[in-house]
Amino acid sequence: MAEEIKKEVKPDGAKAFWVVFKMLLGLAFLALGALALYQWRGELLIVVRGCIGLFLILAGMITLAIAKE
pLDDT in tens, 26-40: 999 999 999 999 999
The total of structural domains in the chain comes to 1
Contacts of 32 (CB under 8 A, 6+ apart): none
d(CA 65, CA 32): 40
In a domain, 68, yes or no: yes
d(CA 47, CA 39): 14
On whether the pTM is more than 0.85, the answer is no
pLDDT less than 70: residues of the chain = 1-11
In a domain, 4, yes or no: no
Let me know if 62 is exposed, middle or buried by CB neighbors in 10 A (0-12, 13-18, 19+).
Answer: exposed
Query: CA-CA-CA-CA torsion for 9, 10, 16, 19, nearest 10 degrees?
Result: -20
In a domain, 27, yes or no: no
Position 3 scores a pLDDT of 62
Position 6 scores a pLDDT of 64
In a domain, 6, yes or no: no
Position 69 scores a pLDDT of 76
Q: Which domain holds residue 44?
A: 40-69
In a domain, 1, yes or no: no
Position 46 scores a pLDDT of 95
In a domain, 14, yes or no: no
